[in-house]
Structure 1
Amino acid sequence: MKKAPATRKPSQRRTTPAHTQETPYCNALPTPLEHLRPAPLLFVWGTGNFGQFGMGADFLGEYDKPTRNKWVERNIEEGIFGGLHSLFWTRRARRAVSIAIPVDENFRAVRITAGDTISAAISSEGDLRVWGSFRGNEGHQFLPASILSLKSRPGNIEKFSSVVAGNNHLIVLTTHGNVYTLGAGEQGQLGRRVLERRKIHGTVPEKIVLGSRNNKAVVVGAGSYSSYAVDEHGTVWAWGLNSMGQTGTGFTSVSADGEVQSPKEVIGLDKRELGGEATVVQIVGGEHHTLFLTSDGRVYSCGRSEGGQLGLADEDEAFKDRPFPDMLAEPAKITFSDANDPIVHISVGVHNNLAVSRGGALYAWGNGPSGELGVSGEEQARTPTVVVRKEGGAWAAVTASCGGQHSLALFRKKT
């Protein structure tokens, strides 16, 4: 006689461990950057009067072309930095920012961002830490703190994938494709109305809907007072200050005070209009202008134009018959000197820009009165100007970053 199969008591039933991820993520957890050998070297230029270059008290002047940071090199050679990140140079920070995460948290930062007075980091495990303050809002956080708990179910654990900063706000992307904003929201950059008498509420993260609650985001970006996202269908969304057309949404949806108060589609950059399988993969903004990078290496710009911020020649087709002489409210494609060398990285300062190509070229354009362009003797470049050449020369650009009045880049020695 066969025995009846044993039944498990409720306490014996198999359950999915709470820390196990079974459902595929929409956005992967962030990973450490590739370790290049030999290691690239740090170059700096622009104004270093507040120690932005991290080169010591004897190097607080102004450099109008890329200059090697020998202090960092010496510390690498002496093993002080080694394979760990002891110093983080951020895209928007006006100074070099070093952070110390308590060791007992086992927090390994692999993504960082900084605004004027706020900083954030995401670990390789998808945890978020924030410190600093949002100027104009109450409260200061002196040590890195967890500010947002994501709801998760066993086998489906939502984590943080990316974070970017405007001047005084943060945009956070999760592995599930959700977008959260927090910080100062007086210019609509949070995607929700924040009343002056209740602006402290802006420091509480809230989820943003991109047209439909079913839309999942795969990219987030920020300008000084504006915010951006790309959804899984390739549609680009923007909200926030649009006084100079910097959101790229045109002027039909702008409020009386020049704001786009909830996410609106950016004109001309969805997957269908870009053609093929190209999508926008990076969005960076300055005070009044924005750049968009596509997966096939094209760069588009919109916003304020009178200082060369958009990288468009005066005779560019986009400028013909425009309703406003000093701005473009819809993105236009930038032309680079080598059409066969696609751009792979972009960065934006207040009124200046940098772009790195696949072949290691570095371009700069915009307004740079403090030497932040890196073009010796020039304070303005209306179109992309070569700082590091693809062919010839001793160095190739790996990545570059614009600060307030200075610029930073990693160069590798050509073999």
Structure 2
Amino acid sequence: MKRGGGKAEEMSTTSVSSAASAADQRRKGTIIYIVYIIAALDITWMFLQFSVTPYLAKKLGFDTLWFGYLQTTVGLIQLIGGPMFGRFADLFGARAALSLACAATTVFFVLLVLANHPVLLFIHKLPTVFMHVLPACQMVVTDLSEPGKRADALSKLGLCFGVGMIAGSTLGGQLNTRYGESFTAGVGAAGSAFSLLLVLIFIPKSTKTEAPKSDTKPENQNKKVFSVREITRLMKYPKVMRIFLIKVAAGLPSGIFQVMFSIIAMEFFKLGPQENGYLMAYFGIVQMVLQGAVIGRLTSRFSEKSLLLLSIGVSACVGVAQAYMQNVLQFCIIVTPMIFSMSMFNIITDTMLTKSVPSSDTGTMLGLCSSVQSLVRTIGPTIGGFLYMNYGVSSIGLSQFFVNIVVFAYLLYRSRMTEGTKDNE
């Protein structure tokens, strides 16, 4: 009887454990879905802002050079804030990080409403030091997803990006055309406040699956948010420095085209706010199709190294196409491989980097990843403005081709060397 009772107790314990595990998975799934909604909303407000800033800057007397300075200011501020924000998320939890990011976005839009002078347009960029909603969403998804499914989970954030791009571009173009820049910025402020409300209601204080090992790792005992030693320590892990340098080198040329696109749309394609909104909505549709039907499936079937090579190779081909495009129709054809290469490259490099560090440091690692985009926004307008003013749009595309070809050749050579070493062993 006792043996039978023992087996029954074991079965009961196993059943309870399985039920608890299933409930925990459902809870994590719910949080991830809420995070996807927050990400889609944030991208909506950001693309709504893209329908305001270039045209407001033009009204306030900004030329291409000064608009480049404005973009550089944002990049520099976020370059400083990205790693700090990631470390803040690791130390204080997901809710605090997302709340800070959404609150900063709300202030950003309020200041944009009030920006009726060139100096105020620069001042309204100051809250961008904490405006890292998408990296914060990546942190939560990274914490709650299994390592083997992380690339797929992160790729779905790209689907949210597409949704937000369509909604924000269309809404921003319509609102700006009908009601002006101030009203459109006010809608962004109200929307960001709503995102903050979702964070406070649904996101738990911490999403880490394991506690930080500060008691066993002396280097983690420093609890300061801005600690250069703690942030740069991650570069000492195997493969991290190499992948990070590849992310910077291969991502810079395509990033330059991105930061210059608003100028290219206005001056090269001669698009107004409404037409630009429609074009960005088209980008969003392409992004959604690629993220929903292509990229997720590829990440589950092929190795990360193969997909990294593919994304860089496609990016090189896109550079050639950009160099010879003449009109919007040709650019619309280029958009599909362009978005595919950028999305795949960012997902794969972010996944590889977060897998290379302990789970307690994934927030800081993603903060460093976001700083790459900030670096592009810091130096990109200066480089892009110089190339565009002196050599035209084609020079930006050709630089993308040459840089990516070099990185592609390096990775291919390294891959063959690695295979050769294994064969000799």
Q: Normalising to structure 2: TM-score of the pair?
A: 0.28
With a CA cutoff of 8 Å and minimum separation of 6, indicate the structure with the bigger relative contact order.
Answer: 2
Q: Normalising to structure 1: TM-score of the pair?
A: 0.29
Task: Judging by fraction of residues, say which structure has more strand.
Answer: 1
Task: Judging by fraction of residues, say which structure has more helix.
Answer: 2
